[in-house]
Amino acid sequence: MSAPQTTPVTGTAITHPITVGSPEFLADPHAHYAWLRENAPVYRGRMAYMGEQDVWLVSRYADCRKLLSDARFQRSPQGRGPAMIARMPDSVREPMRLLTTSSMIMMDDPGHRRLRGLVVKPFTPKAIARLGDRVGDLANSLLDELEPSGRTELRERFALPIPATVINEMVGVPHEDRDRFGRGMKALITGLAEIGQADWVREVNTLTGFVRELIDRKRSDPGPDILTGLIQAEEQGDRLSDDELVAMVFLLVTAGYETTYNLITSAVVTLLDHPRQLARLRDAPQDEALWRGAVEEILRYGSPLGGTKPVTTVEDVTWHGTTIPAGSSVIPLLGAADRDPAAFDAPEVFDIGRHPNNHLGFGHGVHFCLGANLARMETRVALGTLFGRNPNLRLAVDRSELEFEPLPFWTRYRELPVHLG
């Protein structure tokens, strides 16, 4: 194998092939994104923790947006799941099956449309608006406990409990089972890279067993929760299978919980990095439009998620003079697309008043994030409560000491130590 090549970029050395999630990549993702957009908008790279499998990276806004609604790129061709799953160890495939081929997020139409039609009701704007007061109460109760000590780790003790509690309540997990469910959720979102294959498989299989038990309980003792609603959901005589119900709970965890607490964490860092923009929000605590705009700009500028689930080409696709062969794994780099100067004026400027702001933070097309309204609301309420109660909030460590977890497609902070007050 030839030695890796490097390409100099201002302040950053780009090592080829670019490996998303590698230490070099995580040291400055946006330098890598800029190089890709400008020099190789369709690029054959690698993904950390997936060995030497090739993955094609698409980085320009127009291309990412097109890809997300182009039938030549499918999430699960012929229902087999992403191409890279077939190359995983046998022990990983069963839990991955529930995360992929049985999951709505990894299906193509018409299967995706069928499931989305069955589960959309709890995620309507009206349904989400009813949760706003509950999220505000959660945020206030957490701060009641944290503020007397002055210093705290905000990611685990504030950002995470809000969506975790909401998901527990939406799924209808009894209080006595929440620690058990929480351990499984943590393993599911932490991933193979962090805890190792054997531990991940064991914990996710245990979580699967618990969710199947919970489904059986809800059938005999229904409750006012989303899992009961999913069990009872029916459209033209069609209902969700047990595997689809388990996969839907997994999807709620990974999309409704993981994304949100990391978004809240990233939002706090982004706002502290831009004190003038934060001051605009603090000066207008009741300006809902400005706060909504701030969340949209955080999603564009500082989203923790840099790409979508992998898709597979069902035929050769040639873009920008480069051919992606049929059967290839492809990832649209949303983090790169959302700072594309061809799509956004001054994309490196963080501006909470930006309009229009047609970012791809929640995807595009048929797979536009079902929980987008929930994540937006939780983030907006959490930030408003946190900064409203703590006008002197600041980092408790030097900014350079904040570290990212080594995960592909995520810019996920390990921790966020702050001084409240």
3-state secondary structure of 69: coil
- Cα–Cα distance between 402 and 105 in angstroms, integer? 31
Integer Cα distance of 109 and 127 in angstroms: 25
User: Would you list the domain boundaries of the chain?
Assistant: 5-419
CB atoms under 10 Å from CB of 18, counted, come to 23
* 241: CB partners within 8 A, 6+ apart: none
Among the listed residues 411, 298, 335, 316, the one whose alpha carbon sits nearest the alpha carbon of residue 64: 335
pLDDT of residue 234: 64
Mean pLDDT for each 10-residue chunk of the chain (421 residues)?
Answer: 46 87 88 97 89 90 96 81 59 62 73 78 76 94 96 96 91 92 81 71 88 94 87 72 86 79 96 97 95 97 87 96 96 96 97 97 85 91 97 97 84 94 92
Q: Which residue has the tokens 């054959």?
A: 44
pTM equals 0.88
Token pair of 397, please?
A: 């460590």
Specify the pLDDT at position 94: 62
Concatenated DSSP letters for 231-260?
Answer: HH--BTTB---HHHHHHHHHHHHIIIIIHH
Model pLDDT, residue 106 = 72
**Residue 232: both structure tokens together:** 């009872």
CATH topology of domain 5-419: Cytochrome p450 (1.10.630)
